[in-house]
């Protein structure tokens, strides 16, 4: 949460920072700001409530010239979104400017201590406390800025990615991180800084990713210098990021979310490429193959994840239990990390995270590693914190997901889990060969199947108009499609602000059926699978109580038409891949209802793409 960008070099810093901040808006968008150092060494801060475009208007006609600067787009944690709480924050003397992503948990203690030294605060943020702590150390110990930052950070409890500049120094930025991402882009005699390397891909493909508790001295024209918080130098490792700028643009669609829904055939093709061999149907996941012994000996698999990734993990539970006969538990990372869970050394913990930066999932990974479990990651963002802190893993390779509502990452995660379950099942001898071949073949056909599922778009768009009035929705599914129902409900909630509840279809009778009346639409996933007949009965029960039903059904199935008000036909595939197909109309339904209601689907209120705070 919160996006930070910095620049030092020969270019004008402000345009570079603003462009980067636009790309980082998925991380937070309630206020934005920039600090630039003018050529003579004087510093100015421009910041305001609102989006990066509001900051751009605010900057119009102002002198923001300078070749060094830092900028921030905020997702509020401490203090309401207003001008004063927007970053950058200045120190008491006005000589230091700081941007911060994360939470300083002991900020009250630090603030009270600083008050005894005469410091006062203009904002309610923890970040302003940090910049003043740095200034206090710098003044009292008469040390360099990097030393002051290092000493101050030793006193901080919490998470941070920070960048600091100092009035008068037109060539140097100090940056540091702990539990919040920070990438340094290397140019020709210039440096870029960002929470997400993708945001500055226009300028460089060479990046250094800071590790936890590392501090970087970034100085124009000088080699990058990285040290740990004990002041010991650490190696600088440069990595290439292969990404095209078109992946960061809307490509003719009105919103990133719509683009990302529609590109699922291609993203799944990328996810599967080289991993399901067409000629032999062999599955090649190097992370599993290199750790074959661990998967053969696994006593249990525990998934840890949040939100949409947690829904994907629920499908992973079905896949692995069915194909590998290994008991599986699916845990909310936020609960797991504080529950003192029982973890055995022969457990495998699988962390699922699109961003690879979710604070709770990262903490769950650390806990599992400490307990001696083998930790496997399923991430999208290459080089992300979770990807780097797991023992091994598989990237989903679906490209940058920019819409806050996760769509193509969900289908990528389930696809990787299917390949993993098939491969482990074959290694353990628990999956029947005929079944293995059917699923592997269906994986190869998945891009075409998804293309077919996307043909429902026009019908769903028309249907969405009818339901824009609704204040509540129920989503029902069973078996593999119960998590699909949860995910469909989450999509609707987060972008349309309509309350929605996902349930296993048969659970309705145990209470929630009391909600059914003509005003409560139900979306039921009733595709042809082993629970089809049962789901039909559940639909009948709703119908007979006056509820309106939108059913997602298998192509050519006429039976559900007799009881559902509307049927959306999706193509068939093997049962375990049906969630990938069934979720498509639910993603589209949420999207169209939200756009008809005039919501900002890519940046819904109160949310951020990457939840890097607890």
Residues that are catalytic: 2, 609
Beta-strand pair 300-305/347-353: parallel
Nearer to ligand M6R, 353 or 484 (CB): 353
Least distance CB 312 / ligand M6R (angstroms): 8
Neighbour count for residue 374 (Cβ, 10 Å): 22
For residue 37, which of 79, 90, 76 has the smallest C-alpha distance?
Answer: 90
Determine the Cα–Cα distance for residues 148 and 91; give it in Å rounded to an integer: 13
Q: Which two tokens stand for residue 207?
A: 């990046």
Determine the Cα–Cα distance for residues 183 and 203; give it in Å rounded to an integer: 13
Least distance CB 352 / ligand M6R (angstroms): 7
Least distance CB 308 / ligand M6R (angstroms): 3
Nearer to ligand M6R, 91 or 380 (CB): 380
For residue 380, which of 267, 257, 492 has the smallest C-alpha distance?
Answer: 267
> 564-573 contacts: CB < 8 A, separation 24 or more?
564/524, 564/526, 564/539, 566/463, 568/456, 568/459, 568/460, 568/463, 569/456, 570/452, 570/453, 570/456, 570/527, 571/449, 571/452, 571/453, 572/527, 572/528, 573/442, 573/445, 573/446, 573/449
> Which residue in the shown chain puts its C-beta closest to ligand M6R?
307
Nearer to ligand M6R, 96 or 594 (CB): 594
Neighbour count for residue 411 (Cβ, 10 Å): 29
Nearer to ligand M6R, 156 or 368 (CB): 368
Least distance CB 587 / ligand M6R (angstroms): 10
Q: Which two tokens stand for residue 304?
A: 């840890």
Q: What 3-state DSSP class applies to 395?
A: strand
Residue 241 exposure: Cα atoms within 13 Å on the Cβ side: 28
End-to-end CA distance of the chain: give it in Å, rounded.
11
What does the H/E/C string look like for 194-227?
ECCHHHHCCCCCEEEECCCCEEEEEECCCCCEEE
Q: Which helix (H) or strand (E) holds 111?
A: helix 107-116
Determine the Cα–Cα distance for residues 13 and 215; give it in Å rounded to an integer: 22
Least distance CB 92 / ligand M6R (angstroms): 36
Residue 187 burial (CB < 10 Å; 0-12/13-18/19+)?
middle
Nearer to ligand M6R, 219 or 270 (CB): 270
Nearer to ligand M6R, 355 or 531 (CB): 355
Least distance CB 554 / ligand M6R (angstroms): 26
Nearer to ligand M6R, 27 or 111 (CB): 27
Least distance CB 21 / ligand M6R (angstroms): 20
Nearer to ligand M6R, 535 or 603 (CB): 603
Residue 321 burial (CB < 10 Å; 0-12/13-18/19+)?
middle
Q: Which two tokens stand for residue 42?
A: 């004087």
> In which residue are the tokens 């009391």 written?
514
Least distance CB 394 / ligand M6R (angstroms): 14
Nearer to ligand M6R, 164 or 611 (CB): 611
Nearer to ligand M6R, 173 or 613 (CB): 613
The answer to whether 265 and 271 have CB atoms below 8 angstroms apart is no
DSSP state of 104: B
Q: Which two tokens stand for residue 187?
A: 């140019």
Least distance CB 157 / ligand M6R (angstroms): 23
Determine the Cα–Cα distance for residues 199 and 195; give it in Å rounded to an integer: 8
Least distance CB 305 / ligand M6R (angstroms): 7
CA 505 to each of CA 262, 475, 481, 525, 562: distance values in angstroms, whole numbers, following the listed order: 28, 8, 10, 9, 18
Q: What is the contact surface with ligand M6R in residues (CB under 6 A)?
A: 306-309, 353-355, 358, 361, 404-406, 490, 494, 610-611
């Amino acid at each position: 949460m919160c996006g930070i960008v910095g620049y030092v070099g020969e270019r004008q810093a402000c345009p570079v920072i603003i462009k980067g901040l636009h790309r980082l808006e998925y991380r937070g968008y309630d206020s934005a700001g920039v600090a630039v150092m003018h050529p003579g060494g004087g510093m100015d801060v421009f910041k305001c409530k609102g989006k990066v475009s509001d900051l751009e208007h605010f900057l119009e006609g102002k002198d923001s010239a300078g070749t060094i600067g830092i900028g921030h787009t905020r997702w509020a944690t401490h203090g309401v979104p207003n001008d004063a709480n927007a970053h950058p924050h200045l120190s008491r003397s006005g000589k230091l400017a700081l941007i911060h992503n994360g939470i300083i948990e002991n900020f009250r203690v630090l603030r009270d201590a600083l008050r005894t030294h005469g410091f006062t605060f203009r904002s309610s943020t923890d970040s302003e406390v940090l910049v003043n702590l740095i200034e206090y150390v710098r003044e009292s110990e008469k040390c360099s800025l990097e030393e002051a930052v290092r000493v101050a950070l030793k006193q901080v409890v919490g998470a941070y990615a920070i960048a600091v500049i100092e009035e008068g120094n037109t060539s140097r930025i100090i940056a540091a991180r702990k539990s919040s991402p920070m990438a340094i882009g290397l140019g020709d005699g210039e440096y870029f800084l960002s929470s997400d390397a993708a945001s500055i891909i226009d300028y460089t493909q060479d990046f250094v990713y800071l590790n936890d508790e590392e501090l970087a001295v970034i100085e124009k024209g000088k080699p990058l210098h990285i040290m740990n918080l004990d002041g010991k130098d650490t190696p600088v490792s440069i990595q290439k990021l292969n990404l095209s700028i078109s992946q960061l643009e809307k490509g003719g669609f009105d919103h990133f979310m719509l683009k990302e829904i529609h590109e699922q055939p291609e993203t799944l093709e990328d996810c599967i490429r080289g991993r399901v061999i067409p000629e032999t149907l062999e599955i090649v996941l190097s992370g599993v193959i290199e750790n074959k012994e661990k998967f053969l000996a696994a006593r249990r698999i525990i998934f840890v994840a949040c939100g949409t990734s947690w829904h994907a993990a629920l499908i992973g539970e079905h896949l692995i239990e069915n194909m590998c006969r290994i008991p599986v538990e699916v845990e909310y990372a936020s609960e797991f990390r504080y529950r003192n869970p029982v973890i055995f050394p022969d457990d495998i913990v699988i962390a699922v995270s699109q961003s690879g930066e979710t604070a709770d999932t990262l903490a769950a990974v650390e806990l599992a590693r400490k307990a001696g479990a083998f930790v496997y990651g399923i991430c999208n963002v290459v080089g992300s914190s979770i990807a780097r802190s797991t023992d091994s893993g598989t990237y989903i390779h679906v490209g940058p997901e920019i819409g806050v509502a996760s769509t193509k990452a969900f289908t990528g995660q389930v696809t990787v889990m299917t390949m993993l379950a098939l491969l482990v099942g074959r290694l353990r001898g628990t999956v029947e060969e005929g079944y293995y071949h059917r699923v592997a073949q269906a994986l190869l056909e998945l891009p075409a199947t998804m293309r077919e599922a996307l043909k429902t778009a026009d019908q769903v768009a028309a249907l969405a108009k009818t339901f824009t009035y609704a204040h509540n929705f129920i989503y029902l599914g069973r078996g593999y499609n119960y998590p699909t129902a949860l995910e469909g409900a989450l999509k609707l909630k987060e972008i349309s602000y309509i309350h929605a509840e996902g349930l296993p279809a048969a659970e309705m009778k145990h209470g929630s059926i009391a909600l059914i009346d003509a005003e409560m639409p139900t979306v039921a996933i009733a595709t042809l699978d082993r629970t089809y007949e049962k789901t039909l009965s559940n639909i009948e029960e709703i119908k007979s109580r006056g509820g309106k039903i939108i059913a997602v059904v298998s192509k050519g199935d006429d039976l559900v038409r007799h009881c559902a008000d509307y049927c959306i036909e999706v193509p068939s595939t093997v049962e375990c891949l049906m969630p990938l197909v069934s979720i498509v109309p639910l993603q589209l339904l949420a999207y169209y209802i939200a756009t008809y209601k005039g919501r900002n689907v890519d940046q819904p209120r109160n949310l951020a793409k990457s939840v890097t705070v607890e």
